[in-house]
Structure 1
Amino acid sequence: MKQQLTRVAVCIIAILLGCNIQAAKKVFTLGDSTMAPYDVNTTKMRGWGMYFGNFLTHGWVSLNYAKGGRDSRAGYNELWQNAKDSVGSGDYVLIQFGHNDEKFNGMDNQELQTFYAAQGNDAQLATVRKDKRGTIPHSTYKEWLRKIIREVKAKGATPVLISPVCRCYFGADHKITRAGQHDLGDKFDALHQDTIMTQQHIDSDNHDMDYPYHMRQLAKEEHISFVDMTTATKNLYEQYGSFDACYAALFDKGTTTDKTHYNKKGAMAAAQLCAQLLKEQGILAKHITIPTETKHAYDAVVSTTAELCHAIAVANSRKDQQTRYRILVKKGTYKMPTGAMKHYKHTGKDRTTVLWEGDLPDPITYITAANLSLIGEDRDATIITQDISNDSSMLFKGPFGTAHKYETIRYSPVFQLTEAAVGTYFQDITIKSGIDDRLGRNLAVYDCATNTIYKNTLLYGYQDTWTSSNEQGLYYFEGGQVRGRTDYLCGKGDAYFNQLELLQIAGGYTAVPSKPRNVGWVFKNCTISASGNDVDGTYTLGRPWGKATPVAVFIDTRMNVKPTTLGWNEMHDGWPARFAEWNSRDCNGVTIETAGRKTIFANSHENNPTLTEKEADTYSNMNRMFGDWQPTDDTKQAAIPVDIRVNAGVLTWSKSYGTWLWAICKDGNVIDFTEQPTYTAKQAGIYSVRAANPMGGLSAPSATVTVTL
C-alpha cells in the first residue's frame, strides 16, 4: 500500500510540474564522408554531422551514423541497418547521399556488373564489384533512398531528405559549376544496350542526371520534408567571391587539395546552415537554437597608454567572457605603468643569502579574462613596453653579475596571462621588455593560460623572453619573431612554432622546454637569424629543463646562423625525452649535417638527435598536438579588399565573405571602420581598405585610391 501511494505521489508531482519523464529524443544522421565523424587527433578533416548536435536543445541529441565512401545503396544496406534498432517513435532521421552515387559518372554499379559479366571482362567486373558504389539519379538513387524513407516511417520516426553539400568546384565566372552541384548533365556516362556511351551531355534545363533534383522529387512523392543543402552551400561558397578564398576558409586542411571535404570551420558552417534550414521549415523548430553574432566595431580602439590600460581593465572585468573582446592598438609606443607596491627579494646561488630586498611597484600588466584579442595596427610601429628605469638605482649585484631588481620570471614580464585568460589572441604587435639586455631575466610574456595564439608578433627580450607555465597549456605561433639570448623560449605545455623567426644573440640557448602536455615543442618551417654580431656557430638550439620530460624538435629549419656542432647543451643534471632535427638547412639552402649533434646528456642518458622522415611527418601533424582546437582557423586572414573604387568621395570595393569588418585607412593610418563594403570619405587624401578576420586581425591594405573633395 505504501509503495502504491509513493507511485501515485510521484505521478501527481510529475503532472503538476509538467515533467517530461520520456527518454531524450534523437536525431540520426545518415550520409557520406562530408557528414561523417573523424578522429580530431589525426586529421583536420571534419564532417558537418559532427557539429549538428551543437544546435539542438531541450535534451535532443544527435547520433551520427554517416560513413565515408557510402552511396544511397550502402546507406540502406549498411548505415540504416546499423542505426534502425536504435530509432524510435518520434525520432528524426536526416538522410544525405549523392557524392558517392556519382562514382561511375551516373551509371548504376549493379547494372555495370551485369554488363561486364556479359562482356566477359573479368578485370573491369572485379573493379566495379570491389568499389560497390554508383547509382542512376532518376532511378536506382531514388529507389534506395525510398527504402530508407519507408522503413524510417515504419518505426514511427520522421525521415528528412538532405541534398548533398556542394563540392568546391568554381567556374571561370566564380560560380559553383553544374558538377559541383551534383548535376552530371555536362559530362556523364550511360549504358546503352551492349555499349557504354561516355562523355554525354544534356542541356542545363534537363535534370535527368541531377541528383539533388531527383531527391527533391522523391520527397514530394513520399510526402516528406526536403532540405536543399546543395543550393545553400552553393550560396555560401560564392559569397567568398573566388575559389581561393572559399577553399582557404572552408576546405583547406594543410594537405593536398581536396575540394570535397571540410575543415572544422567549413563543417561547422554547413551544420549551422542545415540547422537554420530545418528551423525555417518548421522541422524541430522549437528544439533548434541558432547563435547570432552581431557585427560591430572593435570593443576598444586605443592610441594612448591610458586608453590601453582602461581597455584591458574593462576586458578583465566584463561578465560575458564567452564573447570575444577585441582591442585595436594604434601605432605608437605604449609604456605600461607600474601597479601596486609589492615586496621583492633576490637571493644568491645558495638560495639563502639575500642580495637585495625591498618594495617596488608591480611592473606587470595582467590579462585575467578569456577571449581577448590584442591587435596592433602595424607590428613594428606598435610597441608595448614598461615604464621602468634601468639606472643604477634599479640595479644590484646578482649571482651572475649586475642584475635588475625586477629580473626573474615572476617579477619581470610585460604581460602575464593568468590561467583564466584562455583563448588570448595577439596579432601584429611588438611586446618589448622594459629591462635592458644582460641584466637578468626579462620576459615579454609570462603565459599561464592555454589556447594562446601569437600571429606575426615580435616578442623582444634577452632571457626567458616567452615563458609558459601551464603544463596543460596549448600554444600556437604563426610568423613573427622572438628575440633573445638565453632560454628565450622557455617553459611547459605543448607549443607549435610555425614559420617563426628566432632572433638569436651570440652564445646563448634557444629553446628550453620543461614538461609537455602530450607532444612537446615543435618548430616547423622556422628561421634562425642573428640579432647582433658573431652569432654563427656560438649558440645551441636548447637545453633540458627537467629529467626525461623535455621535447623539442626542429623540422625544415632555415638556419641563417648555425648553432655549434653539438647543437644542444646541458642544463643542471637534466636530460631530454627527445631533442632532434630534420632537414636543417643553412642560409644557402644546403643541408646541415647532424652527425655531430649531442647524443648523451647528464653523463648517461642517450638522445637520438636526428629524426626520420616519418617521425618528422608525425611531429608536423598539428592535430596530434591540438586535437579539436584548430588555431589556424583563427589565424586565417580575411582577403585583402579588391576592386576598390571611388566616385564623388564614396569608396566601394568587392564584398568578401568571412570578413568581420573593414578598416578604412587614410594616408596609411586606420581612421574608421565599416561593416559594409562602402565608405563615404570626409577628407581628401590617399585611401586604402584593410579587412579584419573574426579575431580582429587586419589584412594588408588594398590598393590605394585618391579622394579629392
Structure 2
Amino acid sequence: MGKAISIIAASLLLCLCAGENAGARTVEDSGHIVLRLMGDSTMADKDLSKENPERGWGQRLPSHLDSCVTVVNYAQNGRSTKSFIDRGLWDKVKSDLKAGEYLFIQFGHNDSKESDPERYAPAYGLYTENLRMFVEYALSAGARPVIFSPVSRRWFDGDGNLDRNCHGDYPEAARKVASEYGIPFIDANAITQEWLVSIGDEASRKYYMWIPEGTCPRHPDGLEDNTHTNVAGARKLVELLLPAITGVIPGLASHVRDYDFVVAKDGSGDFFTVQEAVDAAPDYCKQDQTVIFIKDGIYREKLTVPSNKQKLHLIGESASGTVISWDDYALRPGSTGYPMGTSATSTAFLHADDFLAENITFENTAGEGKEIGQACAVTVDGDRVAFIGCRFVGNQDTVYCFGPGQRQYFRNCHIEGTTDFIFGFATAYFDACTIVSKKDSYITAAATPRGMKYGFVFRDCVLKSDGKASRVYLGRPWRPFAKTVFIGCRMDGHILAEGWHNWGKPDAEKTSFYAEYGSCGDGASGDRAGWAHFLRERDLDEYTPEAVLGPRDAERKATTSPETVEWYFKVF
C-alpha cells in the first residue's frame, strides 16, 4: 500500500470510529482470534469453476493473517441485510457466534435496490433496523461487532471523475448505527474511494472484473464489471482495509503476514500453483527477498526455480500440509522414447542462488523397484540454499545435492528414502535433521569434487529406520574423493557396525574421507571400516556451519553489496 493511502486510511479511521474508545477492545496477542464475516458479493467467497477470476475481499483475508486467526466467511453474492436474514444466513451466524469473537458486518450494495422487494431495505428504515438487530445480538452473546460501510463502486464518468455518491445514504446510516452502540466503524466506502481517485479510471480497471472477450472460460463474451474485484483487486482491498481493521483490533496486528505472493488451491491467494508464483518473481533480485507463502494443499506440479529467480523465500503453511509432489522416475520413457534418467526426475529443480524454503514437503511418489529406478524429490543446484523445517520424501536418490561445491544448508528437516537418498557433488550441511531409512541399503553417496575441503556434514542428526530397514550403511563413495562426516548423531540399531562401504572401489578407500565424532546409540557400536576416520575434539571448529558454509574469500572482499549474501550466514 502506498504511503499516501495508508495515511488516508488511518485518518479516516480516527475520524469515523465511534468515540475515542471504539476500538479499545483488545485480544491477547498469544490467543486465538476468530473473525466471522457477513455481507454481500464484494466480501464473499467465489466459485472457482471455469477459471473464474472473481474474488471477494473476505475470501482473500485469511491469506494475510497467520494461523492464530480463523476467518469464517458467511457473505454471499446478492445479499442485502433483508435477504441475508430471510435466506436463513443470519440464523447460521447466530448459532456459530461465541463470546470474544469478532463479527464483521458489511452491507449496502443490494439494500439499495428499490426495484427488488426481496432485497430492498431503505437506508434509514429497514437497513438500520437490521444492523441494530445484528449488533444487539452480537453484544448480548459477548461478541465484538464491527460495522463496515460498503466498498465503493468503480463508477467514473466520461471526464474521469469518480461518483462519490454511489451508495447514497447507506455509508452514513451504517456509521450512525455504530455510533449509537459505541462500536467500531470502518468506512470502507471512503477508504476505497480515495484509492480509486488516486489511481484513476484506466489504472483501476485491472483490479476489477474487466475481461476481454475470449480470454476467460467463465465469461467468454467478455465483461465490464465495476463492482466486483478480481484476484488482484481482492488483495488490494484487504491491503487497504487492514490498517483500519488492526486499528480497531490492536491484537490482530501481530498476526498480519506480509508476503509478496500467496499460493492457495482454494482461490484465496494470488496463484493456484507454486510455479506461477515463482514465474512472477522479479529476475536477478540482488537486494530484498521475494517472499512466497504457500497455503496447505497437495500441489501436483513439477517445479523449476531457474537461475534468474534469485533470493526467493518460500514459506509453507505447515511442513506436513504444504506438499509439492510429482512422480517422475529414471526408467520412465521421456519425450524421445528413451528413459528420462535420474537428472530429469526431480519434483523440484532449484537452480537459483540464495533460495530459502521453510515448512514444505517435497516428495516424489513414483515408488521404488527395478522398473522405477531413481526418483528425486529435489535437485539443488544453487549456491547459498537453505531449507528449514522441510520434509523430503522419496525412495532412491531423494535429495540430489547437485551443484559442485555449492553450499546448501538443511536444518530441522526430515529426509527419507531407500538407496543413496542423499547424494551429489555439493557442500551440504545437515543440522539437527531426522534421516529415515526405508530399506537395507545406503544413506549417502557423496561425489565431492577433488580439492574441495567439505562434502556432506551431519551434525546432531537422528538416524532411524522405518521398521523395515535393519542393515544400513552410512554411506559409500559415488566419486573417488567423496567426503562425509557425522558429528554428535544418534544412530539406531539399523546402522551396520562397519558403517561405510567402498562401493566395490578399493582405491576410493584411500582418496575418500569418511569420519565421525561423538556418535551414540546402538548403531554407533562395533568396529567401523578400517579406512574410516574419527575426528578429535580440536577438529570440531572446522565443522561448524560457519566454517563449512561461511563466506568465501571473494564474498569477504566484496565491497559493492555484501548484503546480497549476508542473509545466508545468519540462517545458522
Please indicate the TM-score interval, normalised by the length of the shorter structure.
0.3 to 0.5
Scaled by the length of structure 1, the TM-score of the pair is: 0.38
Rg comparison, structure with higher value: 1
Scaled by the length of structure 2, the TM-score of the pair is: 0.47
- Whose strand fraction is larger, Structure 1's or Structure 2's? 1
